[in-house]
Amino acid sequence: MDQQESSKQQRQLSLQKWVQEQLLRLHETPDADAELSIVSGDASFRRYFRTRFRNQNYIAVDAPPEYEDSETFVQVDKLFAEAGANVPEVFATDFKQGFMLLQDFGDDILLNNLEQAQLSKDAKSSDAYYRNAIDALVSFQQHGDKNRLGPYDRQELHREMSLFEEWFCGALLNMKLNSDEKQLIADTLAFLEDSALSQHTVVVHRDYHSRNLMIVAGETSPGIIDFQDAVAGPYTYDLVSLLRDCYISWPQQQVVEWADYYLAQAQAAGITKSVTRQQFFRDFDLMGLQRNLKVMGIFSRLSLRDNKSRYLADIPLVIHYFMESSSRYSELSPFREWFQSRVLPLAKERLPIQES
């Protein structure tokens, strides 16, 4: 057994002991057996376990404090809860050890339900799922206190998109970029940053998609998880994360219909105010392109640095989104042409990209 695995096992034993102590406190009982079963590890250093006591399930979180910020998680959980969002209740925390005990939303993620609806051509169900998710989004955008969150500023937008050059072009595709190519990338990033920063600012979950939304028994509003990186940022960011999901895709006309539904709800809630439909879809598309470049870099890094190669299989869909949306904007023609002629051939050698 290597040192890393030994450390994980030791942390699990410490977490189990801590959870038993919290269950004793919560239930005021002299005996509480807290057997932990692994639920998942995600794209970070966090691990999630399930324990059951007196017919109630709990999620125990192992979030090593040297890597994860549990205090921010709890603060953002409170912010979302106060905004009416369906987020897990926090029963206990130990920030020094990096442990948390949370409400258990179960395992029924939205993605599985959407895939089933898509497979069975159940348009009514998929429409209901997306409208419920959009209703929840509009609600926390309307009622969430964005002033309690850090800004999604130019520096952060740029840092994220720069992962495209470093990890996708450089590390994954082994491209040696010349000065003209570097300048083209820099100009494109600046253009997308300008667009994002011009948008109305709201509470942004930052990863609002089908793997982070749960179907909770007896509730219409989805359970929302993985919100700890929330910021105050562009109003279209979470919407494009949801509708141009990295893990499931829909025909463009269907995406437009759901986006129109959001626009109507957001206007009624006073979020988009005087934004025209034309401006809204421009904001939506350009925000999606920022996210596309970011995700190409993140998924490449997850594969190469963190040995999570499964994420490479999701990059082709992200490239498809990028090529489709960028074709609508003449300002992006030079970058798109460069991407198509220089980047795409190399990407096809490394990734399962279908010829369109």
List the structure tokens of 314.
């999701």
Residues 135-162 have pLDDT tens digits of 999 999 999 999 999 999 999 999 999 9
Residue 356 has pLDDT above 60, yes or no: no
Confidence category of residue 5, pLDDT binned at 50, 70, 90 = confident
pLDDT, residue 353, reads 85
Residue 211 has pLDDT above 90, yes or no: yes
CATH 3.90.1200.10 for domain 110-350:
yes
Residues 68-122 have pLDDT tens digits of 999 999 999 999 999 999 999 999 999 999 999 999 999 999 999 999 999 999 9
Q: 3-103 — its CATH code? A: 3.30.200.20
pLDDT, residue 32, reads 61
3-103 matches 110-350 in fold: no
Q: 100 and 69 in contact (C-beta within 8 Å)?
A: no
| Spatial distance between the Cα atoms of 306 and 299, rounded to a whole number of angstroms | 10
> Chain-centre distance of CA 83, in angstroms?
19
Burial (CB count within 10 angstroms: exposed 0-12, middle 13-18, buried 19+), residue 22: buried
Mean pLDDT computed over 326-332: 97
Could you give the percent of the chain with pLDDT greater than 70? 97
In this prediction the pTM is 0.94
Spans of all domains in the chain: 3-103, 110-350
List the structure tokens of 326.
């960028």
pLDDT, residue 256, reads 98
Q: 135 and 221 in contact (C-beta within 8 Å)?
A: yes
Residue 165 has pLDDT above 80, yes or no: yes
Which residues touch 109 (CB under 8 Å, ≥6 apart)?
210, 211, 213, 214, 215
Confidence category of residue 206, pLDDT binned at 50, 70, 90 = very high
pLDDT, residue 278, reads 98
pLDDT, residue 42, reads 57
**154-163 helix and 277-304 helix, angle to the nearest 10 degrees:** 50
pLDDT, residue 313, reads 95
Mean pLDDT computed over 248-269: 97
**DSSP per-residue string spanning 82-148:** HTT-----EEEEETTTTEEEEE---S-BHHHHHHHHHHTT-HHHHHHHHHHHHHHHHHHHHHS-GGG
Burial (CB count within 10 angstroms: exposed 0-12, middle 13-18, buried 19+), residue 134: buried
pLDDT, residue 44, reads 67
Residue 41 has pLDDT above 70, yes or no: no
Residue 254 has pLDDT above 90, yes or no: yes
Question: Helix and strand tally (H, E) in the chain?
Answer: 12, 9
pLDDT, residue 56, reads 87
Confidence category of residue 301, pLDDT binned at 50, 70, 90 = very high
Could you give the percent of the chain with pLDDT greater than 90? 85
Residue 30 has pLDDT above 70, yes or no: no
List the structure tokens of 30.
């002299």
**DSSP per-residue string spanning 159-185:** HHHHHIIIIIIIIIT-----HHHHHHH
pLDDT, residue 343, reads 98
- Mean pLDDT is lowest, of 31-40, 152-161, 186-195, 198-207, for 31-40
Residue 332 has pLDDT above 90, yes or no: yes
